[in-house]
Amino acid sequence: MSFAVTLPDQGQFAAWRQAARLAISHRIPPGKIDWAGGAGLFATDPLPDSPGPHQARVPEQFVKLAGSVIWHSAPERFALLYQALWRLDAREGEPLSQTDPLGRRLTLMTKAVGRDIHKMHAFVRFRELPSDGRRRFAAWFEPGHNTLEPGSSFFAKRFADMDWMIATPRLTARFEAGQLAFHPGGARPDLPEDASESLWATYFANIFNPARVKLDAMRSEMPKKYWKNLPETRLIPDMLKDAEARVQRMREAAASAPRPGAAAVSTRYRATMPAAQDLPETLAAAQHAAQQCRRCGLCEAATRTVWGEGSATARLMLVGEQPGDREDLAGRPFIGPAGQLLRHSMAAAGLDPASVWLTNAVKHFKFSPRGKQRLHQTPDRQEILHCRWWLGLELSFIRPDLVLALGATAALALTGRDDPMTARRGQIETGLHGGPVLITWHPSAILRQRDPGARARMTEDLAADLATARHHP
Ligand code: URA
Ligand code: SF4
């Protein structure tokens, strides 16, 4: 007799464990179970309802391994695990050992799952949704394996006091009022990665509340009907539109005198999210990838990407606006006049630059040429949002306990809010990455200040905020 087992999409580990226990208690051999729910050709029965007489031997090490391998996407994972369980019980060799082909296979699978969970933690990009009560965030993510379920508790801890949702093709995790629950998968957003925030917000607002829109209905009706009436339909991706956007970015960048060859370089601009296997897995790989970044027009005229520096295990991260003229030429953050003021204030507060991570919200210098000079220009909202991709990577690898936002650009990139600085300076806000962000003045804002009294006050504020940052628990 052969048996068929159908496992649910959600709560798969508990369901598999229950079925495997039942099967082994009846000593049903591995070859007699179809874990794909009886889709095979031979006739099958469901497993017996009640446990059989056999008391199986299930080592703790196996339960742990199974609890990870189960999230792998390979359809044969259930059968492989049952085979291992069967052999453990029957004492047929050492099925979990590295010298056994089955053991090796299972180890590779658990490693792949671990990497996938790590990637999810590093690459989920939340967008804030309009809300009149608790802050709400949403993200679309396509994991390589079925890792949303095991990977979600991490976000539940980080975003404990907010509501959020992560939609993936297979499952959607929703965290509302402190409760984590899983629902059917979401519709793939038919949006370019550089779609405007309001378009993303519209997309998420409609899937955030399942009572408002039925997910299945959305899946079948998107995108045509859904987008038809949106004022921003021009942002729906197609080659032509992207070309148009590229030309526009070039035009903007032309204000800062592109280098020869910039036009050719700009065709490498990538609007889409890199495929999972191309995502950098280390801070060094992220830095390397950032050198080639063509996400916005600022790469056209600047000399190079200026990456962060300092300690990769820093507990404190300082985020400025963008590199200035000196930084652009040297390839290091905060070495010009503003950098000197910052470094001086840091030293006074007892902060060693080598023990923190020092970086910028935007990684390329934006300027307009004036004779031989290059005059600083404030990056615009879109540039800040494009470059947040890199800032998010730095955050996910360094995982600081506190981030100090120097000025409005950093504050916007880190929190998604652009309320005036005067009301925010000295306050700790929650960043889009889920951690605390202390808001302070940008050293350049202090240098620009003409009134000596105001300048002295701002310098004191910066000193006080650096001291707070240093002593942050
Ligand atoms: N201003 C910044 O915000 N960052 C730098 O690296 C230099 C000046
Ligand atoms: Fe990429 Fe940032 Fe440079 Fe724009 S400013 S090209 S997003 S690194």
Average pLDDT over residues 423-434: 90
159: confidence class by pLDDT, cuts 50, 70, 90: confident
Tell me, what's the pLDDT at 223? Answer: 38
Judge whether 334 and 343 are in contact, CB under 8 Å: yes
Rounded alpha-carbon distances, angstroms, from residue 315 to 18, 201, 282, 351, 355: 43, 32, 17, 12, 8
Q: Is the pLDDT of residue 63 over 80?
A: yes
Q: Is the pLDDT of residue 206 over 70?
A: no
Residue 319 makes CB contacts below 8 A (sequence gap 6+) with 359, 360, 361, 391, 403, 404, 405, 406, 410, 413, 414
Q: Is the pLDDT of residue 259 over 80?
A: no
Judge whether 156 and 175 are in contact, CB under 8 Å: yes
The verdict on the CB of residue 360 being under 6 Å from ligand 1 is yes
Please give the single-letter amino acid code of residue 407: G
Average pLDDT over residues 144-168: 90
Alpha carbon of 413 to ligand 2 centroid (Å): 13
The verdict on the CB of residue 328 being under 6 Å from ligand 1 is no
Residue nearest to ligand 2 atom 2, measured at CA = 387
Q: Is the pLDDT of residue 401 over 50?
A: yes
The verdict on the CB of residue 333 being under 6 Å from ligand 1 is yes
Alpha carbon of 385 to ligand 2 centroid (Å): 10
Average pLDDT over residues 44-48: 83
Ligand 1 pocket test: pick from 309, 346, 360, 442 the residue with the most ligand atoms within 8 Å of its Cβ.
360
Calpha distance 182→385 (Å, rounded): 29
Tell me, what's the pLDDT at 202? Answer: 67
Ligand 1 pocket test: pick from 321, 329, 404 the residue with the most ligand atoms within 8 Å of its Cβ.
321
Rounded alpha-carbon distances, angstroms, from residue 127 to 37, 99, 152, 295, 456: 38, 46, 17, 18, 37
208: confidence class by pLDDT, cuts 50, 70, 90: low
Q: Is the pLDDT of residue 432 over 60?
A: yes
Calpha distance 235→19 (Å, rounded): 48
Calpha distance 60→55 (Å, rounded): 15
Ligand 2 pocket test: pick from 194, 249, 268, 296 the residue with the most ligand atoms within 8 Å of its Cβ.
296
Percent of the chain with pLDDT over 90: 52
Ligand 1 pocket test: pick from 307, 318, 327, 363 the residue with the most ligand atoms within 8 Å of its Cβ.
327
The verdict on the CB of residue 320 being under 6 Å from ligand 1 is yes
Q: How many CB atoms lie within 10 A of CB 112?
A: 19
Average pLDDT over residues 202-220: 45
Q: What is the pLDDT of residues 228-242, one digit of tens each?
A: 333 223 333 332 233
Alpha carbon of 262 to ligand 2 centroid (Å): 14
Alpha carbon of 396 to ligand 2 centroid (Å): 18
Atom of ligand 2 nearest to the CA of 302: 3
Calpha distance 44→472 (Å, rounded): 62
Q: Let me know the angle formed at the C-alpha of 90 by 89 and 92, rounded to the nearest 5 degrees.
A: 115
Of residues 274 and 302, the one with the higher pLDDT is: 302
The verdict on the CB of residue 321 being under 6 Å from ligand 1 is yes
Tell me, what's the pLDDT at 207? Answer: 56
Calpha distance 164→424 (Å, rounded): 24
Alpha carbon of 363 to ligand 2 centroid (Å): 6
Q: How many CB atoms lie within 10 A of CB 287?
A: 19
Its pTM stands at 0.58
Calpha distance 229→462 (Å, rounded): 48
Q: What is the pLDDT of residues 107-147, one digit of tens each?
A: 999 999 999 998 898 888 888 777 777 788 888 888 999 99
Of residues 222 and 177, the one with the higher pLDDT is: 177
Which ligand sits nearest to residue 330's alpha carbon?
1
Of residues 188 and 40, the one with the higher pLDDT is: 188
Average pLDDT over residues 370-389: 88
Q: Is the pLDDT of residue 292 over 50?
A: yes
Which ligand sits nearest to residue 353's alpha carbon?
1
Q: Is the pLDDT of residue 344 over 80?
A: yes
Architecture of domain 280-470: 3-Layer(aba) Sandwich (3.40)
Residue nearest to ligand 2 atom 7, measured at CA = 387
Beta-bridged to residue 138, according to DSSP, are 127, 165
Alpha carbon of 291 to ligand 2 centroid (Å): 9
Residue nearest to ligand 2 atom 8, measured at CA = 363
Atom of ligand 1 nearest to the CA of 406: 3
Calpha distance 166→173 (Å, rounded): 5
Of residues 204 and 180, the one with the higher pLDDT is: 180
Going by their DSSP bridges, the two strands 436-440 and 402-406 should be labelled as parallel
Rounded alpha-carbon distances, angstroms, from residue 213 to 3, 135, 186, 277: 39, 20, 11, 33
Rounded alpha-carbon distances, angstroms, from residue 143 to 148, 173, 276: 7, 13, 8
Please choose, from the candidates 337, 329, 394, the residue with its C-alpha nearest in 3D space to the C-alpha of residue 360.
394
Ligand 1 pocket test: pick from 319, 444, 447, 448 the residue with the most ligand atoms within 8 Å of its Cβ.
444
Atom of ligand 2 nearest to the CA of 383: 4
421: confidence class by pLDDT, cuts 50, 70, 90: very high
Residues having CB within 6 Å of any atom of ligand 2: 290, 293-296, 298-299, 305, 362-364, 383, 386-387, 390
The verdict on the CB of residue 148 being under 6 Å from ligand 1 is no
Domain regions of the chain by residue span: 3-114, 124-184, 198-249, 280-470
